Each structure stands twice: as C-alpha cells, then as structure tokens.
Amino acid sequence: MTSLPATPPARKLGLVIDLDTCVGCHACAVSCKEWNTGGYPAPLTDQDPYGAGVTGTWLNRIHSYELEAEIGPAGVEEVGRTIYFPRSCLHCDNAPCVTVCPTGASFKREEDGIVLVDEDKCFGCGLCAWACPYGARELDQGSGTMKKCTLCVDRITDQSLEEAARVPACVQACPASARHFGDLADPDSEVSRLVAARGGYDLMPEMDCAPTNKYLPPRPRRTGNRGQGEAPRLEPLAEAGGFLGWLDRVLAD
C-alpha cells in the first residue's frame, strides 16, 4: 500500500551524517554497492562497466562542494573550505515517492519508518524518482526496477550477525566516524543527542518532506589573525659564547 502509515512510526531509523568529519573517501558508497548488489535490492547493475561510457546504479553518491571564504570588515571571518557531502535516501516521514507509486511497490514501514521498494511489484515508470527532491532513487537499467537505499534492512535485523555489525554497511565502513545510525524518534538515543548538540538539520526543508536523516554542519574554523598583516618577525637567537661563539664569529666575518 503506497499510502503513508496512518500513525507515525514509533521508531524512526535513519542516519546522521557529519559533514565536519567526512573525508570524501567514498568507502561508504563502495561498501553500500558491495552489500546491496547481493542484498535486498539485488542486483545493482552497471552498464558498459569497462567501457568509456560507464554508468550504473548506486544508492549513495558523494558530492563535493566549495564554501567561499567570508570576508568582513575585520578580515577573514570564515575561511573557504571543501565539504564532502554523501547523498542518499533520507527516509522521509512525508515521503512523496511513496504516495505517487501506482503499483504498491513503494512503501514506508510502519514499525521503523524505512522506505523500501518491493522489486517484484515495481513496473519501472520512474514517477517516484521524479517526486523525490533528493535524487535518492535510481531506475536500474538492467533490472528495469527502481533502486534506493534500504538502510541495509537485511543487515540491521539479521540476528545471526554480532550486534556491532548490525548497522548499515556505509556506517560500518566509514573510517572517519562521519556516519551514525540509530532511532531518531527517541530523544535520548545517541543520534538524537548528536543532532541536538551539533545543530543537525534537514535538507531542502522547503519541500516539506520531513526527512528522517539529519546532516551535521561543519564546525567553524579558528581564523586567528589569518589575513591580517604579516606574520611576526623572527627574533635573533641569543649570542653564544665559548667555542661555538668563536666559530660563529670566525664564519660570519
């Protein structure tokens, strides 16, 4: 059923992505592809994989952006910097991709809010991808069905895995701990506390999708007196005595 759950899910599983610590290594994207091409949405096909026009289905894409320096009357107030920006499904509360689906393939789980596609029902019309502001859905040209982040639903619920491994593949792969997984409906969860402490925010709030995933902003950089005048001059060393002092005088002449 492609209506949204009548009552909001009691748990809202999702990701918190820290743009301050993401180093743009793409390990999350690669491990996502590796896990999911054999998991719930399998396969994630590639077209012309070894040719010049390679393209394929990925559930996580890592962009990079440049922030311009902010220069005020007092000099540089915020230095310019590069931000790495992982982009994937945000598992929205008010998911337009679910309600537009004509076949019943797209759905939002009542128990934990995860947005999924039933690959056996999808007929590949692509309307859900049009409805999503975040580009989270890609129509797999090999299978002819819509693919999206599953939050590794077949992994986080797998009781045969040890508990530490029951997290999405992207979270486990991140070497910078920039990705956090948990229940965002619980105000005391680690992820909710992180969002509260760091000012986690929604992407494109004007689209009214009420995304579950939150992004943590880059921390402000210390600017010091950068950009203001010259560096302090070096002071000459104290004059040395004895043998080294004699040597210094002889060489300096």
Partner 1 sequence: MHPALSVVIFTSFAGAGYGMLFLLGLLAAAQHHPADLRFNLACLVLTFLLMVVGLLASTRHLKHPERAWRAFSQWRSSWLSREAVAVMLTFVPAGVFALAWLVFVRLDGVWTLFPLLSALGAVAVVVCTAQIYASLRTIPEWHQPLVLPLYLAFALATGTLWVNAVTWSFGVTAPFAPVFALITLVLAWGLKLLYWRRIDGLKPASSTASATGLGRPGGVRTFDPPHAGTNYVMTEMGFQIGRRHASKLRRIALGLGFLLPALGCLVMILAAGPLGILAGWLAAAAGLAGVVVERWLFFAEARHVVMNYYRSQ
Strands 13-18 and 214-216: parallel
- Whether the CB-CB separation of 10 and 113 falls below 8 Å is answered with no
Number of Cβ within 10 Å of residue 60's Cβ equals 23
Which residue's CB is nearer to partner 1, number 99 or number 223?
99
- Least distance CB 105 / partner 1 (angstroms): 8
- Least distance CB 228 / partner 1 (angstroms): 21
Q: Which residues contact 24 (CB under 8 A, 6 or more apart)?
A: 62, 64, 82, 84
- Least distance CB 32 / partner 1 (angstroms): 12
Which residue's CB is nearer to partner 1, number 101 or number 156?
101
- Least distance CB 170 / partner 1 (angstroms): 14
> Token pair 């390679």 is at which residue?
54
Number of Cβ within 10 Å of residue 3's Cβ equals 10
**Closest listed residue to residue 142, CA positions, set 109, 165, 119:** 119
Query: Between the CA of residue 107 and those of 95, 178, 241, what are the distances in Å?
Result: 9, 28, 83
- Least distance CB 250 / partner 1 (angstroms): 56
Q: Does 34 bind partner 1 (CB under 8 A)?
A: no
Which residue's CB is nearer to partner 1, number 130 or number 246?
130
Maximum CA extent, the chain = 93
User: Judged by CB under 8 A, which of 122, 170, 173, 195 binds partner 1?
Assistant: 122
User: Judged by CB under 8 A, which of 64, 157, 177, 228 binds partner 1?
Assistant: 64
Which residue's CB is nearer to partner 1, number 68 or number 253?
68
**Closest listed residue to residue 174, CA positions, set 13, 39, 58, 21:** 21
Contact residues: partner 1, CB under 8 A:
1-4, 19, 29, 53-58, 61-68, 70, 82-83, 85, 87, 96, 98-105, 121-127, 129-135, 137-139, 141, 144-145, 201-208, 215, 217-218
